[in-house]
């Protein structure tokens, strides 16, 4: 695990770079974070498979494991952060509580941005949805082109060739 960039201060959002996604937490100070995760604190794909998760307070190093992490308060540009004491108090009040989990509307990024900024955001969900839409558009376009070209290629071209032979 390796910190990329500046050292965190209490109330900062911490972004952990996992394989294929980012996990998010709130830095509490003294090396601890609060995050929404599975029961074991692994922040793995098992959270996606369940409709609930638990709020845990864990050492930052334990959550990071071998992954890089950084301070990322990017949503402060969209919405002013709440006072640090209020953020930390709200985070601590949620520790140990089981919460609904939905990858598109109630994930770990939504959880921490709600605490820090008073509104939930998740760019990674927005980015995934944009990519899924783009891929679906390409696939549907390719299918439509194939369906249009197929009759010309397999029916019309042999017929045209046959007519030319008969002339």
pLDDT tens for each residue of 99-155: 999 888 889 999 999 999 999 988 865 544 554 555 556 666 665 666 666 555 555
Q: Is residue 35 annotated as a catalytic residue, yes or no?
A: yes
Mean pLDDT of 22-39: 94
Burial class (CB in 10 A: 0-12, 13-18, 19+), 134: exposed
Global pTM exceeds 0.85: no
Express each pLDDT in 62-76 by its tens digit. Answer: 999 999 999 999 999
Q: Is residue 131 annotated as a catalytic residue, yes or no?
A: no
User: Where are the alpha helices (H) located in the chain, listed in sequence order?
Assistant: 45-49, 60-64, 84-94, 108-117, 123-151, 157-166
Higher pLDDT, 29 or 151: 29
Q: Is residue 23 annotated as a catalytic residue, yes or no?
A: yes
- Catalytic residue, from 7, 23, 110, 131: name it: 23
Provide the percentage of residues in the chain whose pLDDT is more than 90: 52
Cα–Cα dist 103/127, whole Å: 13
Give CA separation, 81 vs 113, 156, 163, in Å. 9, 65, 75
The pLDDT value given to residue 152? 54
- Catalytic residue, from 7, 35, 110, 131: name it: 35
Tokens standing for residue 136: 């679906």
């Amino acid at each position: 695990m390796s910190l990329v960039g500046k050292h965190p201060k209490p109330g900062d959002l911490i972004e952990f770079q996992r394989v294929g996604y980012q996990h998010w937490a709130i830095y509490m100070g003294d090396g601890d974070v609060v995050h929404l995760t599975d029961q074991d604190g692994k922040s793995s794909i098992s959270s996606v498979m369940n409709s609930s998760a638990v709020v845990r307070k864990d050492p930052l190093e334990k959550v990071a494991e071998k992954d890089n992490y950084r301070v990322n308060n990017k949503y402060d540009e969209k919405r002013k952060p709440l006072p640090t004491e209020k953020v930390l108090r709200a985070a601590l009040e949620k520790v140990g509580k089981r919460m609904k989990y939905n990858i598109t509307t109630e994930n770990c990024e939504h959880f921490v941005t709600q605490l820090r900024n008073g509104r939930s955001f998740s760019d990674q969900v927005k980015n995934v949805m944009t990519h899924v839409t783009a891929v679906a558009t390409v696939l549907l376009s390719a299918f439509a082109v194939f369906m249009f070209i197929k009759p010309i290629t397999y029916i019309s071209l042999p017929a045209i060739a046959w007519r030319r032979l008969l002339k």
